[in-house]
Amino acid sequence: MNLQTLALAFLAATAIGGVAWVFLYPLLSGERKAEHRRASFASPEPVARGVDKNQRSRREQVEGSLKELDARRQKDKKVSLSVRLTQAGLDWTPKKFVVVSGILAVACFGLVMTFGGGPLGALGLAFAAGFGLPRWGLGYLKKRREKAFLKALPDAVDVIVRGIKSGLPLFDSIKVVAADAPEPLKGEFLAIVETQAIGMPLGEACARLYDRMPVPEANFFGIVIAIQQKSGGNLSEALGNLSKVLRDRKKMAEKIQAMSMEAKASAGIIGSLPPIVMLLVYLSTPDYISLLWTHPTGQLMLVGCLIWMSMGIFVMKRMINFDF
């Protein structure tokens, strides 16, 4: 009995001690206070003081501006033909582009049929000339225009920074760039000046630069101006940092181009060898290789080779093109 009483007393004391440890020790040791302090420090809601409220308000304005710009970009993902023509630097209307594409298709079809080609091949080449070639030309003009824009943009941002530091308003600094910058930067900044002159806020006018010149650098410039117009701040410092980022991105792009040039040259040589060999064989022994397009089996083999070559060129292009 005595042992049982001692055992029960021991168990009761252990249970009471465990309960006291769980509930009383955090209060006595200050662990609850430390936990509460850590939670208040890590909480997204700042402590209600004047400076913290101002910081929170500015952060919310910046986040709201970024969300608004991202929402607008996501809403307008599909680019219309008129916008693509503008991005390529052409003043054509979509109707004129479609008419020129149709003329190319008809001309190609007529040439193939005149030189004895089959209707199926003539239709294929006409489709390529009327649909693929004009859009490839648009893409080429767009990329060339973007390269010229990115080449001059850091210097233009530096001009704006110097103008702001010397006391000029932002709009006047942009007008200086629009007057002296080379094309296509001159035309894009003239569009900003004209858009702002008809009543659109300067931040929104700069944000629309990305619609006409869809490169990340133009988006950075529009976001910096839009945020500064809404929340204020040191614009010269922000644009100075932007100029540094633009120059660093340009250096990175040039470094990537230099490092991948060997792979691009190898891919070009490998991709051009089969058609060059085919042309040389045709010039030396045309009867030997003409079976590829005169015999049904040869035509099937030629189509298969074209498919495999296209897949290989596509894979090599994906391997040597870097996005950053």
Residue 228: inside a domain, yes or no? no
Domain carrying residue 298:
257-324
**Residue pair 225/69 in contact by the 8 Å Cβ criterion:** no
At 35 the pLDDT is 60
Place 20 in a pLDDT band, splitting at 50, 70 and 90.
low
Residue 40: inside a domain, yes or no? no
Place 70 in a pLDDT band, splitting at 50, 70 and 90.
low
At 240 the pLDDT is 84
The model's pTM is 0.60
Residue 219: inside a domain, yes or no? no
At 315 the pLDDT is 82
| Kind plus residue range of the DSSP H or E element containing 34 | helix 31-42
| 247-259 pLDDT tens trace | 888 888 888 888 8
Higher-scoring residue by pLDDT: 8, 152: 152
Would you say residue 48 has pLDDT above 50?
no
Distance CA 44, CA 24 (A): 30
Taking all residues of the chain, what is their mean pLDDT, rounded to a whole number? 76
**DSSP-assigned letters across all residues of 121-171:** HHHHHHHIIIIIHHHHHHHHHHHHHHHHHHHHHHHHHHHHHHHHHTT--HH
How many domains is the chain partitioned into structurally? 1
Would you say residue 8 has pLDDT above 60?
no
- Residue positions counted in the chain: 324
Distance CA 294, CA 263 (A): 36
Residue 99: inside a domain, yes or no? no
- Residues whose CB is less than 8 angstroms from the CB of residue 172 and which lie 6 or more positions away in sequence, other chains included: 163
- Residues whose CB is less than 8 angstroms from the CB of residue 190 and which lie 6 or more positions away in sequence, other chains included: 178
| 264-311 pLDDT tens trace | 888 888 888 888 988 898 888 888 888 887 888 888 888 888 888 888
**Residue pair 271/316 in contact by the 8 Å Cβ criterion:** yes
Residue 299: inside a domain, yes or no? yes
